[in-house]
Structure 1
Amino acid sequence: MSYGPQPGYPQPQYGPPPGYPGYGPPQRHGPPSTAMAYVCAVLFLICGVLALITAIVGWDGTSDNVDLMVALVGAAFSDDVTGNIDFAISVTMTVACSTLTFALILFARLDFVRWLLAFVGGVVTVYYVYAIIRLLSEGGGEFIAMVLVSFLLWAAATVLVLLPATGRAMRGYQRGLAQYPPQPMGYRY
């Protein structure tokens, strides 16, 4: 006994319709969004401004705000390198100005700047992990708030700039898709 299609109901069609070239790469519907590039640029601008503020507040090393002083990039190494906070202020100013410059250039969606920011963000994020561990091990838990905020901002910006969606938002993304011919619109899986 065979069961066929019921009378009055169309027979289901499986696979691509006649004349369709077959199963190919996933279809793209329109150009990729550029939003991720701009989100990353804004997030790195925030990181750069925060680093600049911490450097300006601790400019002479005599600030009363200990939370901002321990959030300086390189403050955990200052005693080992120079014996004073000048090293951390210099490193923080360098990181802040470089990040602000690269973040402004990232608005032009240049892919190499994305990788520069990923490198700078990765180094600063790893430093803040070290600073958090050192601060907690030395009993400075009450001064950790700005270090945690800085770590979270830098880590979020670094992760976002490394996402594939950010890579697709860059200007040079189209060159990799030239090998696939455009697929006809109208039939989607």
Structure 2
Amino acid sequence: MSYGPQPGYPQQPNYGPPPGYPGHGYGPPQRYGPPSTALAYVSALLFLICGILALVIAIVGWDGTTDNVDLLVALVGLAFSDDLTGNIDFAVAATMTVACSTLTFALALFARLDFLRWLLAFVGGVVTVYYVYAIIKTLADGGGEFIAMIIVSFLLWAAATVVVLLPATGRAMRGYQRKLGQYPPQQMGYPY
């Protein structure tokens, strides 16, 4: 029920922007315009770094006779090699597979294909979980002085996996379709 203006005071005009413009109403501010594609490229770059690091680790530990034990223990699958084959050939093959697959998918991710995002998230998740196991096993076996490269690899793979799974990265992919009504219609000026 409206009582109208108070006696002696004229009717006040409506101040502020009209509905549909920023600053009107309640709730969080809305974002206007298309989403940024930066996170798609950042996630591709992070996975490129992970793939290159895995490739370097596999090449250095190729025959198992390297003097750099830090890189040798960072081979993907080395924690399981005693149980499976008894030598490091399994770990070298697993690391080369992870490295080459990651490099291929990461280079193709620069085209912002959404299904590659999920493939990289799967590979990154599996490798991240492996490195958690490798850190625990290495520390339990008393190899604390050789754990530095395992931790660096874990941090890189975990960061790349988290970035590729962010919702903003999903919006940055080419297949992202904006929801109807997400952006207000484009109008020029205020309709007064």
Q: TM-score with structure 2 length normalisation?
A: 0.83
Aligned with residue 173 of structure 2, among 167, 170, 175: 170
The equivalent residue for 2:114 is: 111
The equivalent residue for 1:180 is: 181
Residue 12 of structure 1, CA deviation: 6.9
CA distance in structure 1 between the partners assigned to 2:138 and 2:129 by the alignment:
14
Aligned pairs, number? 177
CA distance in structure 2 between the partners assigned to 1:32 and 1:19 by the alignment:
19
Task: Determine whether 1:63 maps to 2:66.
Answer: yes
Distance 1:163 1:181, change over 3 A: closer
The equivalent residue for 1:98 is: 101
The equivalent residue for 1:78 is: 81
The equivalent residue for 1:161 is: 164
Contact 1:25 1:180 in 2 (8 A): no
State the Cα deviation string for residues 150-169 of structure 1 (Å, max 9, x = none). 00000000000000010010
* Amino acid aligned to 1:89: V
- Share of identical aligned residues, percent? 78
How is 1:122-133 mapped onto 2 (pairs within 5 angstroms)? 122-133=125-136
* Amino acid aligned to 2:18: P
CA distance in structure 2 between the partners assigned to 1:19 and 1:73 by the alignment:
53
Higher helix share: 1
Q: Which runs of 5+ in 2 are unaligned?
A: 1-5
The equivalent residue for 1:17 is: 18
> 3-state SS of the aligned residue for 2:75?
coil
Residue 28 of structure 1, CA deviation: 3.7
Q: Which runs of 5+ in 1 are unaligned?
A: none
Distance 1:106 1:37, change over 3 A: same
State the Cα deviation string for residues 50-83 of structure 1 (Å, max 9, x = none). 0000000011111111000000000000000000
How is 1:1-16 mapped onto 2 (pairs within 5 angstroms)? 13=15
